[in-house]
A and B are shown apart, each in its own frame.
Chain A
Amino acid sequence: MPANHQTAVPADERSIAQPARRHPVIHKLVRSWQLYVFMALPFLYLVIFKYYPMYGAQIAFKDYSVVKGIAGSDWVGWKHFIRFVNSYDFMRILKNTLLLSFYNLAAGFPFPILLALSLNYLREGLYKKGIQMVTYAPHFISIVVMVGIVKELLDPRTGLINKVLQAFGFQAINFLGDASMFKSIYVWSDVWQHVGFNCIIFIAALAGIDPAQHEAAVVDGASKLRRMWHIDLPGIMPIAIILLILNTGQMLDVGFEKVLLLQNPINLTASEVIDTYVYKVGLSASVANYSYSTAIGLFKSIINLILLLIVNKAAQKTNQASLW
């Protein structure tokens, strides 16, 4: 907005403190100055650690060299993207990423809803509290410890699961050494860890349903199952759809910190996903390739953003709920 209003004000009048006469924008800025002081550090953080890396992502289109820096490196266009799409690993990694994501969403999404619906019909008391307490707790176990537990329990020689299998006369199975098992191990250990915590949001939504609806339904002779279906489920639908949109927007961000820890050379054909590949190409390879790794990461971010926009649009069309 042009600030030439001020020039119209005579000089002597400007010298007197008359906020109302100042340009409205400047006036607002001055009046909120303390709030800007609050915002200063968080803003600086965003600029340095979030927005500057977005500027730095241009090295995906360059051959980054440490000497020349981000701005000084030579442009190479789409070279790294083309190399990735044409690479031998591309289809396999993309397939793994998508399959793992879909599987995780398909298995991970309904369970918290079911648990919330179910808890909603338990009598208030110690038992219900105990269930909530215990099922929320695994959420706070670290990824490293979680994978450690999985590895111990599934160990081919000393693990509990194999001891049980052997007790029933089956052969011991090397679960983590079997590529075809990888996705199930990943997904179901995730369900185990997060089902309780993820149901909290639905419990909150259920608590927000007007009890009068239930009372009216009871008077009409509706059974609990029908009430669950016709009152509770529609009641939590909006929040469920928002969560689904958010999850879809991160379709390609499978929990790669966990995938990385569960990986081993034997299950790699099923467990290599985009993010672990980015890490390996960019940081853990003996000859790190910053530009190539960044290009792969950027490819992923852009697809995520597009997915988010598409799903949100679709949700708007169905008039259920949307992010904005």
Chain B
Amino acid sequence: MNTSFRNESWQDRTFTIVNYVLVTLLFLSVLYPLVYVVSASFSDSSAVISGEVWLWPVRPTLEGYIAVFQYSQVWTGLKNSFIYTVLGTLVNIVLTIAAAYPLSRKDFFGRNLFMILFIFTTMFTGGLIPTYLVVKDLGMLNTVWSMIIPSAITVWNVIIARTYFQMTIPDEMLEAAQIDGCSDFKFVWQIVIRLSGPIIAVITLYYAAANWNQYFNAMIYLKDQSLYPLQLVLKDILISNDMDNTMFGGDPQDAARREAMRVLLKYSLIVVASVPLLILYPFVQKYFVKGVMIGSLKG
């Protein structure tokens, strides 16, 4: 498919040129806002609001980041989000494998019934209030558990994992293990999990991202500010523009500077909030195509 450019017909050359131009335009339009946000976060606050920042940081400072980390709510949020993400993802992974493995076994009696039970929940739900009432009746409102248990399983990820198990664990391997007297528990622990690195990486990323980015459940289930995850703190600052003004200190007359600092703090906060996932992401990126491809296969 990749004959060298020089040997191509003029149509193909035009095609290649147009293709490169278009895809580069799209690339730049995705890249530019990201670069701008990062550059703004490192710039001088007055430069940001006066529109001096175009591409690179102007009069670089760390003012914005210093302000972010002096904001005690941000620290509380980071800590809570970290706890919810680690605990939640752990629960997610364990339950997803526990559900996916039996569903991958042909000899699992009732497999189709369970499969239907899972799939149906993706097509029909009880809705917001009935789910809320369950969480409330279980006494989970305003506790850590409301951030972990109600979102314990995502059916889509169960299906991806199940399909992966079906594709990569040969039946012969199970038979051999069974002849050797290996129990299913041992088989999963010692063989299935060890052979499923790529899929576990992908669903870990999906779950971790969902847990880290979750705000709606937190908004409806949590009341105490001390339990707020980062996203809820961000929502107050970025969306509701609800900030502790005293933290910018100094002269109350200096309204312009305060305004500028608010804007700068927002840019810095956007970067701080996105970095944890973006660090995780390059490590698992190579598994993406695999994960998505498996998800697209019907089983």
Give residues in A with beta carbon < 8 Å to B: 25, 28-29, 31-32, 34-39, 41-43, 45-46, 48-57, 59, 70, 115, 118-119, 121-124, 130-131, 133-138, 140-145, 147-149, 151-153, 155, 157-158, 160, 163, 166-167, 192, 195-196, 200-201, 203-205, 207-208, 211, 214-215, 218, 223-225, 239, 242, 249, 257, 260-261, 275, 278-279, 282-283, 290, 293-294, 297-298, 301, 304-305, 308, 323
CA distance A52 to B98 in the complex (A): 21
Question: CB-nearest residue of chain B relative to A163?
Answer: B51
Which residue of A167, A192, A200 is within 8 Å of B289 (Cβ)? A200
CA distance A306 to B252 in the complex (A): 59
> Which residues in B have their C-beta under 8 angstroms from that of A36?
102
Do the beta carbons of B126 and A308 come within 8 Å of each other? no
Q: How far is the CB of A276 from chain B (nearest CB, A)?
A: 11
Q: How far is the CB of A136 from chain B (nearest CB, A)?
A: 7
Do the beta carbons of A224 and B12 come within 8 Å of each other? yes
> Which residues in B have their C-beta under 8 angstroms from that of A308?
123
Do the beta carbons of B114 and A39 come within 8 Å of each other? yes
Which residue of B3, B99, B239 is within 8 Å of A144 (Cβ)? B239
Residues facing A in B260-299 (CB within 8 A) are: 263, 266-267, 269-270, 273-274, 277-278, 281-282, 285, 288-289, 292-293, 295-296, 298
Residues facing A in B15-61 (CB within 8 A) are: 15-16, 19-20, 22-23, 26-27, 29-31, 33-34, 36-37, 48-49, 51
Q: How far is the CB of A36 from chain B (nearest CB, A)?
A: 7
> Which residues in B have their C-beta under 8 angstroms from that of A134?
27, 30-31, 34
What are the interface flags for B98-138 relative to A under an 8 Å C-beta threshold, 1 for contact and 0 otherwise?
A: 11011001011110001001100101111111111110001
CA distance A57 to B130 in the complex (A): 6
Which residue of B27, B263, B266, B295 is within 8 Å of A131 (Cβ)? B27
CA distance A290 to B137 in the complex (A): 14
Do A152 and B267 form a contact, CB below 8 Å, given A144-B231, A201-B293?
yes
Do the beta carbons of A122 and B23 come within 8 Å of each other? yes
CA distance A172 to B289 in the complex (A): 42
Q: Which of A25, A31, A49, A283 gathers the greatest number of chain B CB atoms within 10 Å?
A: A49
Do the beta carbons of B238 and A148 come within 8 Å of each other? yes
Give residues in B with beta carbon < 8 Å to A: 1-3, 9, 11-12, 15-16, 19-20, 22-23, 26-27, 29-31, 33-34, 36-37, 48-49, 51, 95-96, 98-99, 101-102, 105, 107-110, 114, 117-118, 121, 123-134, 138, 149-150, 152-153, 158, 183-185, 188, 209, 212-213, 215-216, 220, 231, 234-235, 238-239, 263, 266-267, 269-270, 273-274, 277-278, 281-282, 285, 288-289, 292-293, 295-296, 298
Do A59 and B108 form a contact, CB below 8 Å, given A122-B19, A223-B12?
no
Do the beta carbons of A121 and B15 come within 8 Å of each other? yes
Question: CB-nearest residue of chain A relative to B277?
Answer: A140
Question: CB-nearest residue of chain A relative to B186?
Answer: A34
Which residue of B129, B134, B282, B292 is within 8 Å of A133 (Cβ)? B282
Which residue of A140, A224, A279 is within 8 Å of B128 (Cβ)? A279
Do the beta carbons of B296 and A239 come within 8 Å of each other? yes
Which residue of B12, B16, B102, B266 is within 8 Å of A152 (Cβ)? B266
Do the beta carbons of B292 and A118 come within 8 Å of each other? no
> Which residues in A have their C-beta under 8 angstroms from that of B2?
123-124
Which residue of B30, B124, B130, B239 is within 8 Å of A261 (Cβ)? B239
Question: CB-nearest residue of chain B relative to A49?
Answer: B150
CA distance A260 to B215 in the complex (A): 11
Do the beta carbons of A46 and B121 come within 8 Å of each other? yes
Do the beta carbons of B128 and A115 come within 8 Å of each other? no
Do the beta carbons of B235 and A35 come within 8 Å of each other? no
Sample of 21 A–B contacts (CB below 8 Å): A25-B109, A32-B108, A34-B183, A38-B101, A38-B184, A39-B99, A42-B99, A53-B130, A115-B26, A130-B27, A133-B285, A142-B212, A151-B239, A192-B30, A195-B26, A204-B289, A257-B215, A278-B129, A282-B129, A290-B129, A297-B128
> Which residues in B have their C-beta under 8 angstroms from that of A205?
296
Do A59 and B16 form a contact, CB below 8 Å, given A42-B153, A145-B234?
no
